[in-house]
Amino acid sequence: MVDASLLTNPVYFLQNLVDGLARGAVYAVFALGFTLIFGVLDIVNLAHAATYMWCAFAGWVVMAVLNMPLVVGLLAAMLFGGLIAVILEFIAFRPLRQEGAERLAPMISSIGVSIIMVSLAEAQFSSQTKKFPSEVLDPKPLYLGGTDGVRVSWAQLLIVVVSIVLMVALGYLIRRTRTGKAIRAVAYSQRAARLLGINVNRVVVVTFFIGGVLAGAAGILVGLLTNNINPNIGADIELRGLAVVILGGLGNIEGAVVGGLCLGLVETFSIAYFDRGSDYKDAIAFLILFLILLIRPNGLFGRQEANRA
């Protein structure tokens, strides 16, 4: 355990709560794209993290090289993500689906694409870390309750706001719109969807686009938070994203949000309240994940097929 005085310090607790929620919010956004594609197609898209990494670079190019404002950088990163994901569907997934390839084939194909994308990024940007200029986001944080209070960086504030907007928008899209209902129909049964006159391939493209937008948002947000963009940042979030998706229940949207927030909080609190917590944070987080899955093998929200996408 860390210094005993910290354990009873409410500001320290709140500070970690804020840090944990911000971290968890990006995990959630990343995992949402993952789980959406899985829910609709039963595909584990392991190029999701490479898409995320490329979008962080895209946002960096727009803001740091082209000197465009933050909003433009965010939107560009998200659009770029959607575009990459759609291209992946056409080159890495659809051909396999049409040939009736076996279940694991799309995953293998996405690993291949992911390796190519990381290599391309290394060739393009070198493995040296890229940073945002301070004009993009004011590096001075906000203080809640005076300078002794809780510190919130502008990046954290941005993350929370953008994540909430994206989650609400996704929830609305999936629950309320015609497109969302078509996505859910395809997720449940492609055959039944076809018989309703739904063009399944078109729905799949839309799903990949949305998934890519979410990867893009997560990429640029983490880039801004850590101010550290390099071709290997995908590896950091990939396993976490997968863990969040499994924790929440495969293909489950609410589950991805709750799972993401949980993982962010557990990681942050492990660092804050355990000696050498930063060395063990992954071990602690995954131990908890393992224990939860022992109790709920289908994840927190996993109700078999009942609540998929």
Which residue ranges make up the site for other proteins (CB under 8 A)? Answer: 178, 181-182, 184-185, 188-189, 191-192, 194-200, 305-308
The set of residues, in sequence order, having a beta carbon less than 8 Å from that of 157 and lying 6+ positions away, is 142
Closest CA relative to residue 304, chosen from 255, 259, 242, 243 = 255
Q: For residues 191 and 276, which CB has a smaller minimum distance to other proteins in the complex?
A: 191
Nearer to other proteins, 190 or 230 (CB): 190
To other proteins, the closest distance from the beta carbon of 114 in angstroms equals 31
How near is the Cβ of 32 to other proteins at its closest, in Å? Answer: 18
Listed in sequence order, the residues at least 6 apart from 124 whose beta carbon sits closer than 8 Å to its beta carbon are 57
Q: Which is nearer to other proteins, 196 or 235 (CB)?
A: 196
Q: Is the Cβ of residue 223 or residue 299 nearer to other proteins in the bound state?
A: 299
Of the pair 111, 200, the CB lying nearest other proteins is at 200
Q: Tell me how far, at minimum, the Cβ of 122 lies from other proteins, in Å.
A: 41
Rg (CA), the chain: 20
Least CB distance to other proteins at residue 226 (A): 38
Of 270, 227, 247, which is closest to residue 27 (Cα–Cα)?
A: 247
Q: Are 260 and 31 in contact (CB under 8 A)?
A: yes
* Widest Cα–Cα separation across the chain: 65
Residue 202 CB, nearest approach to other proteins (Å): 9
Cβ-based nearer residue to other proteins, 6 or 198: 198
Instruction: Tell the smallest beta-carbon distance from residue 255 to other proteins (Å).
Output: 14
Q: Are 31 and 264 in contact (CB under 8 A)?
A: no
When the beta carbons of 47 and 253 are compared against other proteins, the nearer one is 253
Kindly state the smallest distance separating residue 170's Cβ from other proteins, in Å: 17
